[in-house]
């Protein structure tokens, strides 16, 4: 069965707080990739239900179901296929037919044609504004921090399996 979508969102190590997707319509399809532990997707159904989405896609209606990401260690990528509903005050959805690659002054740019307006030429320097502009990004951990976090998790796991409450040296 095909899954309809208008948008693909790629997240790099993003831990989302509890929310509903206010500008989405219908089902979202999400899957996780990367070298990480934790990071389960939690759906409030009405009780909290956790899903391991690492290499295990799930289909759910993010506009109707509150959801969030649990803590994780490592680099966690997710890909989300979803359908946007543009609010009238901030239209996000553009038609592919409105864009065309053209050469201007010897460089390739994108011509963006919006009905009733003059053509805009978009390049790396002056592209369309990103809808998430202004949001704070989660600081990216350094490799040393990732290794230290992983070692701490292994110490905790070893201690719990051996019945020992002290972490190994």
| Domain range summary for the chain, segments of one domain joined by + | 7-87, 94-123
Q: Which residue has the higher pLDDT, 160 or 105?
A: 105
Mean pLDDT over the full length of the chain: 81
Nearest to 17 by CA among 88, 81, 71: 71
The H or E element containing residue 149 is helix 143-162
pLDDT tens readout for residues 6-58 = 888 999 999 999 999 988 999 999 999 999 999 999 999 989 999 999 999 99
Neighbours of 108 (CB within 10 A): 9
pLDDT tens readout for residues 92-148 = 566 777 888 888 888 888 888 888 888 888 766 655 555 555 556 666 666 677 677
pLDDT tens readout for residues 60-85 = 999 999 999 999 999 999 999 998 88
Three-class SS of 89-143: CCCCCCCHHHEEEEEECCEEEEEECCCCCCCEEECCCCCCCCCCCCCCCCCCCCH
* CATH level 3 topology of 7-87: Jelly Rolls (2.60.120)
């Amino acid at each position: 069965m095909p899954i309809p979508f208008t948008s693909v969102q790629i997240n790099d190590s993003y831990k989302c707080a509890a929310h509903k997707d206010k500008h989405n319509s219908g089902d979202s399809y999400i899957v996780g990739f990367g070298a990480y532990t934790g990071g389960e997707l939690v759906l409030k159904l009405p009780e909290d239900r956790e899903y391991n989405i690492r290499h295990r896609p799930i289909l759910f209606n993010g506009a109707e179901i509150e959801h969030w990401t649990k803590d994780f260690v490592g680099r966690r990528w997710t890909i989300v296929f979803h359908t946007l509903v543009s609010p009238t005050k901030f239209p996000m959805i553009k038609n592919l037919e409105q864009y065309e690659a053209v050469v201007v002054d010897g460089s390739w740019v994108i011509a963006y044609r919006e009905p009733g307006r003059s053509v805009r030429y978009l390049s790396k320097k002056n592209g369309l504004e990103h809808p998430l502009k202004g949001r704070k990004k989660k600081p990216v951990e350094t490799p040393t921090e990732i290794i230290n976090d992983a070692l701490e998790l292994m110490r905790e796991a070893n201690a719990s399996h051996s019945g020992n409450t002290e972490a190994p040296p």
